[in-house]
Chain A
Amino acid sequence: MSLDVVLLITRIAIALALYAFLGVLLALLWVDIRAASEYSGEKPYPQARLIVIDCEEVPLEPGQEYILEPLTTLGRGPTNTIILPDSFASTVHAHIILQKGQWWLEDRESRNGTTINGVPVTEPVVLSGGDVIGIGRVKLEFRAE
Chain B
Amino acid sequence: MLKEALLAVHGSEVQATPWSIASRERWLLALAAVFTSLNWIGLTLASKQEWSLLWPLGVWLVCTAAMHSLLSRILPHRDPYLIPIVMLLSGWGLVLVARLAPPFVTRQAIWLALATGASLLIAALPPGLRVLQRYRYTWLLAGLTLLAATLVFGVNPSGNAYAPRLWLGLRGLIFFQPSELLKLLMIVFLASYLAEKREIILTTQTRIGRWRLPPLPYVAPMLLMWGFCMILLIWQRDLGAASLFFLIFLAMLYASTGQAGYVAAGLILLGLAGLLGYRLYDVVRLRVDTWWNPWPEADSRAFQIVQSLLAVASGGIFGQGVGQGAPIYIPVVHSDFVFAAIAEEWGLLGSLGVVACLAILTLRALRIAIQNARRPFHSLLAAGIGVSLGAQSFLIMAGVVKLIPLTGVTLPFVSYGGSSLLSSFVMVGLLLRISDPQSRFRSLRWRTRGVSSEPVP
Residues of A near any B CB (own CB < 8 A): 3, 6-8, 10-11, 13-15, 17-22, 24-25, 28-29, 31-32, 35-36, 38-39, 44, 70-71, 95, 97-99, 104, 106, 124
A39 to B13, CA, bound (A): 11
Which of B81, B346, B350 sits near A28, CB closer than 8 Å? B81
Q: What is the predominant secondary structure among interface residues of chain A facing chain B? A: helix
Closest to A106 in B: B1
Q: Does B31 contact A (CB under 8 A)?
A: yes
Closest to B35 in A: A17
Q: Does B161 contact A (CB under 8 A)?
A: no
* A97 and B42 contacting across the interface, CB-CB below 8 Å: no
A-chain residues with CB within 8 Å of residue B403 when the two chains form the complex: none
Q: Does B12 contact A (CB under 8 A)?
A: yes
Which of A3, A29, A38 sits near B360, CB closer than 8 Å? A29
Q: Do A97 and B1 contact each other (CB < 8 Å), given the known contacts A15-B349, A17-B38, A18-B350?
A: yes
B-chain residues with CB within 8 Å of residue A14 when the two chains form the complex: 35, 38-39, 42, 322, 346
- List which B1-32 residues lie within 8 A (CB) of chain A: 1-2, 4-6, 8-9, 12, 15-17, 19, 24, 27-28, 31-32
* A99 and B4 contacting across the interface, CB-CB below 8 Å: yes
* A21 and B32 contacting across the interface, CB-CB below 8 Å: yes
A-chain residues with CB within 8 Å of residue B24 when the two chains form the complex: 28
Task: Kindly provide the distance from the CB of A32 to the nearest chain B CB, expressed in whole angstroms.
Answer: 7
CB<8 Å pairs between A and B, sample of 30: A3-B45, A6-B45, A7-B45, A14-B35, A14-B42, A17-B31, A18-B346, A18-B349, A18-B353, A21-B28, A22-B353, A25-B28, A25-B84, A28-B80, A28-B81, A29-B81, A32-B17, A35-B15, A35-B16, A38-B16, A70-B8, A71-B6, A71-B9, A97-B5, A98-B8, A99-B4, A99-B5, A99-B8, A104-B1, A106-B1
A-chain residues with CB within 8 Å of residue B35 when the two chains form the complex: 14, 17-18, 21
Which of A13, A36, A98 sits near B5, CB closer than 8 Å? A98
